[in-house]
Structure 1
Amino acid sequence: MSKMAGSGVHLLTSVVWLLLYFTVSANAGDAEEGPDWWDLGQRIKNKILKNYDKTAMPHRDHNGTTTVYYSLSPIGIWMNDDTQIMTMNTFVYMFWKDERLSWEPEDFGGMKYVFFSPDQIWRPDITLYNNAKVKETHHYGNQPVMAFRNGYLYWVPSAELNVECPQDLTYWPYDRQVCILFLGSWSRHGWQLNPESWNGRNKTAVNLKWYMKTSHHWRVEAATIERVVMKYDCCPEPYVTLDVEITLARDSPSFVFIVILPGLGIALLTLVHFVLPFDSKQKLLMGSLASVLCSVYVIYLGNMVTHQSGSSPIIIKFFGQTLIMAFLSVILACVVCRISSGLKMSTTPPPPKLTLLLTGPLARVLLLTDMASKVGTNFGLEGNNEHVMDVASKKPRYEAEWQLLAASLDRVICYAFVLILVISALVYVLPLA
C-alpha cells in the first residue's frame, strides 16, 4: 500500500510539473507577440492586491473552509545523539485555493500565472507542534508562491524541522528510531483550515525522491503522513493534525571494525588465557592484560553512546559482563596458582570426599583422567607407589592431590566461562544480527 501511495504522489507531482511546463511555454509564446511578460505580471499583482487583506482567510464567507494539501520531501536528516533532536531539511509542498487571487487571462494578454512573495499573501499557518526549538517558529523559506489564474496556489518552500526524538539504544549500533512530527494550524480549527495529505488519503507515504541516501549517518526505512482528527469535550469543532512518522536506521559500516570486531577479539583473548597451563605465571599476565583491555573498551563504548537514553545497549551489557568475568578469572587464577604452588608441598591432604569425586567420573568430564590416575603415586614416580615423604616432618606430601584439585578448579572455571560467553552471545549479540 505504501508503494502505491508513493507512486501516486510521484504521478501527481509529475502532472503538476508538466502543467507548469506547458503553461510557461504558452505564456512565453504569448509574451513574444503581445505586451511585455513582466509588465503583465505586475499589472495582475497590482490589481488583485489592491484591496487584498493577507490576514483574512481565503474564503469570502465565515462558514467556508480552506483545504490545504500538504506533503514533505526530505533532503537530509541528522540526529544529535546527545540532545536526541532530529533535524530534517526538506521540501514542503502546499496547495490551496484563494479566490481573491484569481483573474481573467483575456484581460492580461493571456497571462495564466504569476509569482508572489510569501509575505504578500495569506499563507497556511501550519506549524510543527512538537518543535524542539520553540523560539524558531518560522520553519519555511522565502521561496515565491505560484498563483494560477483560477485562484489555486502552489508553494514549495524549503524548511528545517527540529523535533525531539527519544532514542531506544537497546540494539545500538544497529538501532532503529521512530520520530513523529505533529503538524497543524496554530490558530484555526478544522472547519476553518482543513489540512489534507497530498493525495487526499488519510495515510500515505512521504516522497523520498530527493533524500540523499549516501551522505548521511541515518537511513530512512519508512516515512508516512497521516491525517488525524481530534475533538474535545469543550468544543464542537474538530482539530486536524498531520502526523509524520519517520523510521530511521543507523547506517555506518565502520561500526563493524571499530565496535564489533575489537570487542569480540577482547572476549576471545579472555578465553584464550585458559589454554595456558594452570600453574603458569604467564596465565596471570594474560588474564590481567585481557581485563585492562576490556576495561578500556567498555570506557570507549561509554564515550560513544549518549547517556540521555533510558535504555542501555545490549552490546555494552555484554562487554560489561565480559569485564566482570575477566576480573573473576584473574582472581581465580591466583587461587589456582596458590593451590598449585603453595600447597603441593603440604602434608595435609585435600578432603577425602573431594579427592574421590575428582578421581571418579568427573575426571573424564574435565579431561583430567591422566592426572587423576597419578593421585597417590607422586605423578607415577617409578619404583615408588607411595607419597613422597617430607624430610622435615617425616610425613607424606600430597602433591598429586593438590595439583589435581588446582587443575580441576581451573578446568571448571574454563567451562563456566565458555558457557557464560556462549549464552551471553546468544542473548545479547544474536538480536543485533
Structure 2
Amino acid sequence: MRILQIFGFFIILWQYRADCLYMDTFIATKLEEDVMTRGCKNLEDTTPLLRLKKYLFCTYDNTVRPNHQKASINVTLKLMPKMMEYIGHKEILTLHSWMSFSWTDTHLTWTPNNFDGVTYIHVKSDELWVPDLCVHNSSDMSNDVLKMPTTDCLVFNTGSVICVPAVKYMSKCDSDYTYWPYDQQTCHVVLGSWSYWKEEVDFHFDGNGINMDSYKNNTLYDLKFVDAVKHIKKYECCPNNTFPKMDYSFMLIRHYGIKHKTIITPAIALILLTLTVLWLDSRSVERTAVASVNLICHLFCLYDLHWQMPYNGINPPNIMLFYRDSLALATFALILTTLLRKLQNMSTDMPNWISSSTMFVINNRAGRFLILKDEKSKITGDSIVIEDSSDLSKSGRKESWRYFAAIVEWLSFFCVFLIYVIILITLLPTG
C-alpha cells in the first residue's frame, strides 16, 4: 500500500512537469509568432509607408542627437511672424509666429527604390529628435517653452527634416516712453539652444532669417523688422565651448493718431492761452479771468494725462515735463497779473533805478511804440515830458508805475514765448 502511494506521487509530479513544459513551449511559440507578425523585423507588409516607418523607427531614439559625437548638426531657421501683442506696463512682447526648422538626421535615410519610390513621409515632431530652441530673454521660462510645439514634419530620403510649428515667443523689452505718444520701442527676441553648444548644434539663418509677408499689424503698434544677427558667446561654466545666439531685432512704432488729438492738441492750445494772458492788459478783468481758467485747464490736462500715461520706468515722458513746465508758466502768469494790478495802483515814489530804467525804455522808439498808450503823455523830440514833472502829483506817480508795469508785461510776454520755444526744441522727438 505504501509503495502504491509513492508510485502515484511520482506519476502526479511527472504530469505536472509535462504540463509546465508544454506551457513554456506554447508561450515561446506565441511570442515568436507575435514578433513575426507585428515586430520591427517583419518587412513583408503590403503598405510601403508602413514598412518604411518600421524600417526607420524600429531602433530610433528621439533623445539621441543624430550625428556623430564630434560632428555638429546645422539647423537653419526662418521666422514668419503672424501677429504680436505688447503689454507696455509689463514690458512683454508676445510674438505669434511660424518658425521653419530644417536639418539633416543621418538616422533617417533610405533608398526610395526599396519602398516603391517613396521619397518623403510625414512624421510627428514628437517622434523625432528636434533642436531645443528657446527664447533666452523670455519672460516665461517654463518647460513648455524649452521644446518644439507638436507639429507634422517632412522627412526626406536624404535625411533632410523640415518642421514648421506654430510658436509663441515671449521676450522682455526695455521700454522707453521718453517721446510718448510718439514712442518707438526696440525689442529683441534672442533664440538659442538650451542644452547644446555650437560644436553639437549650430544655428544659421535662412536668407535674412525672417519673412514678414503674412504679418497682420497690431492696432496699437506697427512691428518693423530691423535685423537678425548671430552672436557667438562663451560662458564661465564651459570655457572650451561656444553658444550661438540668434538675435532678432524689432521696432514697435506706436499709432499716435488718437493720442495726438487728445494730448498734443490741448498742449498747443495751452501755449496760446498762456501767451494770451500775458498779451492782455493787466488792468483788465478779462486777463485775471483768462489766467484763472488757464491754470485750471493745466491742472485738468495733467490729471487726464496721469491716467493715459503708461508705466514709463526711469525716464519721465517729455510730454509730462512739458505740462509741468507749462503749468509753472501758467502759475507765473496768474501771479504776475495779480502783482501788476497792485503795482499800477501804487502812488509812492519810484526808486531811482526803476525810474531811470523806465525813462530809458520810453525814450526809445520801440519802447514808445509798445508802452505809451496814454494820451496824457506828451512826446517832444526824443524825450518824454510828463505833466507836473516838477512836482509829481499822486496821479503822476501812478502813471509812472503804469509805465513800469507795461514794461514788465512785455518783458514777461517775450520771456515766456522764448521759454516755450526752448521747451519745444528740447522736448520734441528727434529722428
* TM-score, L = length of structure 1: 0.79
Q: CA deviation at 1:276?
A: 2.2
Aligned to 1:259: 263
For 2:118 and 2:202, the matched residues in 1 are separated by 30
Preserved contact between residue 229 and residue 239 of structure 1 (Cα < 8 Å)? yes
**Within 5 A, what are the aligned runs for 1:9-408?**
39-59=47-67, 61-135=68-142, 136-138=144-146, 140-199=148-207, 204=208, 206-213=210-217, 215-232=218-235, 234-340=238-344, 342-343=345-346, 346=347, 348-361=348-361, 364-366=365-367, 367-371=369-373, 374=376, 385-386=387-388, 398-408=397-407
Deviation string 1:100-153 (CA, Å, 9 cap, x unpaired) is 222222222222211111211111001111111122525743221111121111
Q: Which has the larger radius of gyration?
A: 2
For 1:238 and 1:369, the matched residues in 2 are separated by 77
Q: Percent identity?
A: 22
Deviation string 1:128-181 (CA, Å, 9 cap, x unpaired) is 111111225257432211111211110111111111101122222222222122
Preserved contact between residue 184 and residue 240 of structure 1 (Cα < 8 Å)? yes
Number of equivalent positions: 376
For 1:395 and 1:372, the matched residues in 2 are separated by 16
**Secondary structure of 2:107 counterpart:** helix
**Secondary structure of 1:101 counterpart:** coil
Distance 1:373 1:195, change over 3 A: same
* TM-score, L = length of structure 2: 0.80
For 2:366 and 2:325, the matched residues in 1 are separated by 26
Distance 1:261 1:305, change over 3 A: same
Preserved contact between residue 359 and residue 373 of structure 1 (Cα < 8 Å)? no
For 1:197 and 1:359, the matched residues in 2 are separated by 78
Q: CA deviation at 1:54?
A: 0.6
Aligned to 1:422: 421
Preserved contact between residue 388 and residue 396 of structure 2 (Cα < 8 Å)? no
Distance 1:42 1:336, change over 3 A: farther
Preserved contact between residue 140 and residue 158 of structure 1 (Cα < 8 Å)? no
Distance 1:395 1:315, change over 3 A: closer
278-287 vs 170-179, which deviates more? 170-179
Q: CA deviation at 1:255?
A: 2.6
Distance 1:56 1:375, change over 3 A: same
Distance 1:308 1:315, change over 3 A: closer
Q: CA deviation at 1:94?
A: 0.5
Q: CA deviation at 1:432?
A: 4.8
Preserved contact between residue 192 and residue 244 of structure 2 (Cα < 8 Å)? yes
Q: CA deviation at 1:324?
A: 0.7
**Secondary structure of 1:359 counterpart:** helix
For 1:152 and 1:43, the matched residues in 2 are separated by 19
Look up the equivalent residue of 2:326 and give its one-letter code: T
Aligned to 2:38: none
For 1:396 and 1:247, the matched residues in 2 are separated by 68
Preserved contact between residue 133 and residue 146 of structure 2 (Cα < 8 Å)? no
Distance 1:62 1:370, change over 3 A: closer
For 1:171 and 1:407, the matched residues in 2 are separated by 38
**Secondary structure of 2:283 counterpart:** coil
**Secondary structure of 1:99 counterpart:** coil
Distance 1:276 1:146, change over 3 A: same
For 1:405 and 1:217, the matched residues in 2 are separated by 53
Preserved contact between residue 142 and residue 157 of structure 1 (Cα < 8 Å)? yes
Look up the equivalent residue of 1:175 and give its one-letter code: D
Q: CA deviation at 1:395?
A: 6.4
Look up the equivalent residue of 2:186 and give its one-letter code: V
Gap runs ≥5 in structure 1: 1-37, 378-383
Distance 1:117 1:99, change over 3 A: same
Aligned to 1:380: none
Q: CA deviation at 1:295?
A: 1.9
**Secondary structure of 2:213 counterpart:** coil
Distance 1:358 1:42, change over 3 A: farther
For 2:330 and 2:342, the matched residues in 1 are separated by 19
Distance 1:271 1:432, change over 3 A: farther
Deviation string 1:176-197 (CA, Å, 9 cap, x unpaired) is 2221222111111111111111
Gap runs ≥5 in structure 2: 1-45, 380-385
Q: CA deviation at 1:316?
A: 2.0
Distance 1:173 1:396, change over 3 A: closer
Aligned to 2:412: 413
Distance 1:422 1:179, change over 3 A: same
For 2:340 and 2:289, the matched residues in 1 are separated by 14
Preserved contact between residue 218 and residue 249 of structure 1 (Cα < 8 Å)? yes
After superposition, the CA RMSD in angstroms is 2.7
Look up the equivalent residue of 2:264 and give its one-letter code: I
Q: CA deviation at 1:304?
A: 2.3
Look up the equivalent residue of 2:172 and give its one-letter code: E
For 1:282 and 1:249, the matched residues in 2 are separated by 44
For 2:190 and 2:371, the matched residues in 1 are separated by 71
**Secondary structure of 1:254 counterpart:** helix
Q: CA deviation at 1:369?
A: 4.5
Q: CA deviation at 1:404?
A: 1.6
Preserved contact between residue 96 and residue 154 of structure 1 (Cα < 8 Å)? yes
Q: CA deviation at 1:84?
A: 0.9
